[in-house]
Amino acid sequence: MSRLDSFIRRLEAQRACLNRAAELIEGLDGVVLELGLGNGRTYDHLRELFPDRDIYVCERQVAAHPDCIPPPDRLLLGDMFETLPAAQSRLGGEVALAHFDAGTGDAAANRKLAAGLRPLILPLLCPGGILATQQAMNGPDLIAMPLPQGVAEGRYHLYQRT
């Protein structure tokens, strides 16, 4: 499997999991939280999936396509280890879907980042809220959900907040 194959597989898994997440939160009130804007492709997909929900986006420094930049009042600008705790008062228990994809090729660094972010994301999720993440975030208060067809175990992760 080439890096091109593996990249396509990861993007397909991401899309399938976000589409599934949209079904899972259909009856649930709450906002969407994208942890990392990057080039804005995934944010654009979330906008399509959730035209009626507020989508908040964490980003250290915006470098996305001009069409994919969130409105300033939905942008949590800065280091997530600072912006997520600061967002507790506004977004605590209000997030119906959070999405995280570290998106770097450094698996060890990605795992460490995911472990560090987990306790910051958890209190933002409403009961029944979904966390879609490329990096595993197993542990208390999150139930692993079945993955969409075609997504191999471990390639992406869907959790539901108890």
Q: Which residues bind a second copy (CB under 8 A)?
A: 2-5, 7-8, 11-12, 14-15, 40-42, 44-45, 47-48, 65, 68, 105
Distances 119 to 6, 11, 44, 97 between C-alpha atoms, Å:
29, 26, 26, 15
- Write down the least CB distance from residue 154 to a second copy, Å: 20
- Write down the least CB distance from residue 19 to a second copy, Å: 10
Distances 59 to 20, 34, 52, 146, 162 between C-alpha atoms, Å:
24, 9, 22, 29, 27
Q: What is the 3-state secondary structure (H, E, C) of 7-62?
A: HHHHHHHHHHHHHHHHHHCCCCCCEEEEECCCCCHHHHHHHHHCCCCCEEEEECCC
- Write down the least CB distance from residue 77 to a second copy, Å: 21
Q: Name the residue nearer to a second copy (CB basis): 15 or 111.
A: 15
Q: Name the residue nearer to a second copy (CB basis): 41 or 74.
A: 41
Name 98's bridge partners: 33, 131
Q: Name the residue nearer to a second copy (CB basis): 61 or 104.
A: 104
- Write down the least CB distance from residue 55 to a second copy, Å: 13
138: CB partners within 8 A, 6+ apart: 144
Q: Name the residue nearer to a second copy (CB basis): 48 or 82.
A: 48
- Write down the least CB distance from residue 43 to a second copy, Å: 9
Q: Name the residue nearer to a second copy (CB basis): 9 or 74.
A: 9
Q: Residue 159: which H helix or E strand, with range?
A: strand 157-161
